[in-house]
Amino acid sequence: MFDDNGSFLLAVFEFFIFCAWFMCLFWIFGDLFRSRDIGGWGKTLWTIFLVFLPLLGMLIYLIARGSGMNERAAASAAGMQKRQEAYIRSVAAPSNGRRTPTEEIASAKTLLDSGAINAAEFERLKADALTSGAASPVA
């Protein structure tokens, strides 16, 4: 397949260029479909241009819209991080700032173990926590 070392190095270089071109194409398509300032028809025209004239289309896209690619990627990442943090807060926070029945029972058990309350008071606190937990369903 390879006659000498030069043809092997040329094949490795061609493979590298192909992978770099493919990666750039993915970045451009990601930026194109992430962009909110281009409508559906604009995205369609850019896609057709990139599919039928890939090298020329990539170069023209980078010249025309390349300066804002970093800002759009950073804005997308910041928005994704905000949505993730909001989701984590909504899942991790107890509903209405109240403690869950499990937390109340654990707190009562700690008080029982430290001797601050007796067994009867622990049972009463446990029953209160279980009845208040049954009355308010967990979301």
Domain boundaries, the chain: 5-92, 95-134
Phi, psi torsion values for 74, nearest 5 degrees: -65, -40
Q: Has residue 2 got a pLDDT over 90?
A: no
Query: What pTM does this model have?
Result: 0.55
Q: Has residue 101 got a pLDDT over 60?
A: yes
- Give the per-residue SS3 of 8-47: HHHHHHHHHHHHHHHHHHHHHHHHHHHCCCCCHHHHHHHH
DSSP code per residue over 76-98: HHHHHHHHHHHHHHHHHSPGGGP
- pLDDT per residue as tens digits for the range 45-90: 999 999 999 899 999 999 999 888 889 889 989 999 999 999 988 8
